[in-house]
Amino acid sequence: MTGTASRPTLEAVAARAGVSRATASRVVNGGDGVREPLVERVRRAVEELGYVPNQAARSLVTRRHDAVAVVIAEPETRVFADPFFALQLRGISKELTAHDSQLVLLLTEGRDDHVRVGRYLAGGHVDGALVFSLHLDDPLPGLIHGAGVPTVFGGRPGWGDGPRDAVPTVYVDCDNRGGARDAVRHLVGLGRTRIAHITGPLDQTSAADRLDGFRDVMVDVDPALIAEGDFTPAGGERAMRELLERRPDVDAVFAANDLSAAGALRVLRERGRRVPDDVAVIGFDDMLPVAEQTDPPLTTVRQDIEEIGRLMARLLLRRLDRAADEGPVGAPSSVVLPTTLVRRASA
């Protein structure tokens, strides 16, 4: 399997299948008008010989690789520890597969490796990129911009909705602020008055927007009722301990995601606080099975994470088609999906 191994040719496929070269070519290139038994024979020959069409040569003509890069601006360890990413990738994978486009996931150990990711994107290996979990000081957007590949972002990027260098930013997100408002209003409706918030990492817009939503309802809130988390269960535990220390009278918590809510629930149980009687708890995401398996099961703000992934891929593919057909034209616009409050036992 070195570079010197000779590749099977289309002629060899045709000979093995007992058909003409033209017929073999039609089958391999997805054309119509070949009878099913012949298609079957060619396919079998392709598989037996391990024939692969010369994609590099074909790319030179079409300038398409039928491949889309996915970049998650988190270290590889978090990508596999947080089910959020698996869900988003599932949506992306289904959509790309349906369009016979290869999902190319570029993993990194950390932010230091983003220059290398930019290099790969600039190297002409993919048609476009899907990027998510950006942080405010991330070098990635600049690198992607430099690489000149069409991109759709998961989550509103931190530089705002407006155009950047005359190229409109396209993203898919849920209504983080509105969802947060719904959660806090629900707690207010339960008669709670000392409502705390465990934030996500505030260098991400999703976390900042959820905090804004909390403040929309809790105007003039005591700052001691806001503790910074990081979207992980351990961060939720830490934040809950801080809150109990600063405001032992806290009677409700809105956590910025389900994982940190799960951490908060563990600390409350440890301290003998009953949920929801003493402290009501709401999360965000409706991440399954997490949200159903907490004790008690979690009331939360649902967003359709898999659908966000699917939409990201769909918008990018549409953009690539347009680019191929008409040259660079206006990109499709961003999409913000609504959220819904899911009531379980915790609030």
Residues 103-142 that bind a copy of itself (CB under 8 A): 103-109, 113, 115-125, 139, 141-142
Dihedrals φ, ψ of 62, to 5°? -85, -15
Least CB distance from residue 67 to a copy of itself, whole Å?
A: 6
How do strand 299-302 and strand 340-342 relate by DSSP bridges?
antiparallel
- Which residue of 22, 52, 136, 234 would you call a contact of a copy of itself, by CB under 8 A? 52
Dihedrals φ, ψ of 129, to 5°? -135, 145
Buried b (16+ CB within 10 A) or exposed e, 304-316: bbbbbbbbbbbbb
- Residues numbered 178-197 forming contacts with a copy of itself, rule: CB under 8 A: none
Q: Which is nearer to a copy of itself, 34 or 221 (CB)?
A: 34
- In the stretch 259-298, what mask flags binding to a copy of itself with x, by CB under 8 A? ----------------------------------------
> Should residue 4 be labelled a site residue for a copy of itself when binding is judged by CB under 8 A?
yes
Least CB distance from residue 56 to a copy of itself, whole Å?
A: 5
- Which residue of 21, 328, 340, 343 would you call a contact of a copy of itself, by CB under 8 A? 328
Task: Let me know if 221 is exposed, middle or buried by CB neighbors in 10 A (0-12, 13-18, 19+).
Answer: middle
The DSSP output letter for 112 is: G
Least CB distance from residue 165 to a copy of itself, whole Å?
A: 7
**Nearest CA-CA partner of 16 in 5, 27, 31:** 27
- Residues numbered 58-87 forming contacts with a copy of itself, rule: CB under 8 A: 59, 65-67, 76-77, 80-81, 83, 86
* CA dihedral sign, ordered 324, 329, 333, 334: positive
> Should residue 304 be labelled a site residue for a copy of itself when binding is judged by CB under 8 A?
no
> Should residue 89 be labelled a site residue for a copy of itself when binding is judged by CB under 8 A?
yes
Side-chain half-sphere CA neighbours of 177 within 13 A:
9
Give the interface size with a copy of itself as a residue count (CB under 8 A): 71
Measured between its terminal Cα atoms, the distance across the chain in Å is 60
- Residues numbered 11-50 forming contacts with a copy of itself, rule: CB under 8 A: 46-50
Complete DSSP assignment for 227-257: EE--SSHHHHHHHHHHHHHH-TT--EEEESS
- How many CB atoms sit inside 10 A of residue 6's CB? 6
- How many CB atoms sit inside 10 A of residue 101's CB? 21
> Should residue 151 be labelled a site residue for a copy of itself when binding is judged by CB under 8 A?
yes
- Residues numbered 152-181 forming contacts with a copy of itself, rule: CB under 8 A: 165, 167
**CA angle at residue 146 from 142 to 150, to 5 degrees?**
95
Least CB distance from residue 218 to a copy of itself, whole Å?
A: 36
Q: Which is nearer to a copy of itself, 293 or 340 (CB)?
A: 293
- Which residue of 30, 32, 56, 191 would you call a contact of a copy of itself, by CB under 8 A? 56
- Residues numbered 199-228 forming contacts with a copy of itself, rule: CB under 8 A: none
> Should residue 3 be labelled a site residue for a copy of itself when binding is judged by CB under 8 A?
yes
**Nearest CA-CA partner of 88 in 311, 315, 242, 306:** 306
> Should residue 333 be labelled a site residue for a copy of itself when binding is judged by CB under 8 A?
no
- Which residue of 10, 73, 147, 264 would you call a contact of a copy of itself, by CB under 8 A? 147
**Nearest CA-CA partner of 227 in 245, 243, 205:** 243
- Which residue of 24, 42, 143, 287 would you call a contact of a copy of itself, by CB under 8 A? 143
Dihedrals φ, ψ of 337, to 5°? -90, 145
